[in-house]
Amino acid sequence: MTAPPDRSFAPGPGSVVRAALVFGLLLVALGGCAGAAGGGGGACGTYGARTAGTDAQASDPLATNYRLNAGDLLQISVWREEELNRQVLVQPDGSISFPLAGQIMAEGRTAGELEAEIGEQLERFIPQAVATVELLEVRGNKVFVMGEVLRPGEYQMSGPLTVVQAISLAGGFNQFAARDRIRVLRDEGDEEVAYTVDYDCVASSTNVAANVPLQAGDTVIVPGKTLGLF
């Protein structure tokens, strides 16, 4: 009796090469998908990821390095000098007025820095004066959203706020918005800096650094699709 023929598959050299080629192409495709999902900060706009942590803290009134703004309401107390304790509003020019200490610039300083300045001024009249500054209300921590959104205007930041969140506060985009050309304008000393943001890229990305954390005074501009602002 004749044994049945052996029909087991034995890959030839050509089959091995084709399989390796298909496997390599699959790896390349998967790598491309992962890169798109990761979406680096540069791919979603011009914002530098290295500044993200610093900016988020600067916008958070609960952070110890929050810098005061015009409109903020403060409670200033002096140890053992209850008659000096009072609420103080940071004036539009960024200054405050406090008994015995006079006019002091508060805007741009942290609460700790302002405490040190008040204490130093009070020591002319009160030896070893110790002042405490408490932030009661954040009224000056504002950003502005303009352009093709449903509710353009100024918005209060009571905590960290990103460009995506600011657009949400403004009601989202209208039908004319160019979502890939959002601009964030920021004053940095004597220089105005502009960042561009691609909203859809940020929304579909796992790279949170591309979602610009806003600072007090930032302006978010959403241009139109046909007649962009820039």
pLDDT band of 160, cuts 50, 70, 90? confident
Q: How far apart are CA 121 and CA 130, in angstroms?
A: 11
Q: Please state which of the ranges 48-62, 64-78, 140-154, 187-201 shows the lowest mean pLDDT.
A: 48-62
Cβ-defined contacts of 172-177 (< 8 Å, 24+)? 173/148, 173/149, 173/199, 173/222, 174/148, 174/149, 174/150, 176/148, 176/224, 176/225, 176/226, 177/147, 177/148, 177/149, 177/222, 177/223, 177/224, 177/225
Segment 94-110 mean pLDDT: 95
pLDDT band of 22, cuts 50, 70, 90? very low
Per-residue pLDDT of 103-138, as tens digits, reads 999 999 999 999 999 999 999 999 999 999 999 988
Does the pLDDT of residue 157 top 70, yes or no?
A: yes
Report the C-alpha dihedral over residues 218, 181, 42, 206, rounded to 10 degrees: 90
Q: Please state which of the ranges 43-47, 82-86, 140-144, 166-170 shows the lowest mean pLDDT.
A: 43-47
Alpha helices, DSSP H, located in 133-179: 163-169
Looking at the DSSP assignment, which residues form a beta bridge with residue 14?
none
pTM score above 0.75: no
The CATH superfamily assigned to 41-60+141-222 is: Outer membrane lipoprotein wza domain like (3.10.560.10)
Segment 199-220 mean pLDDT: 84
> Could you state, in order of their start, the residue ranges of all structural domains in the chain?
41-60+141-222, 73-137
Please state which CATH class domain 73-137 belongs to. Answer: alpha beta
Does the pLDDT of residue 224 top 80, yes or no?
A: yes
Does the pLDDT of residue 199 top 80, yes or no?
A: yes
pLDDT band of 59, cuts 50, 70, 90? low
Buried b vs exposed e over 168-204: b needs ≥16 C-beta within 10 Å? ebbeebeeebbbebbbbebeeeeeeeebebbbebbee
pLDDT at 4: 52
Does the pLDDT of residue 190 top 70, yes or no?
A: yes
Does the pLDDT of residue 220 top 60, yes or no?
A: yes
Structure tokens at 28: 């390349």
Structure tokens at 49: 């990821």
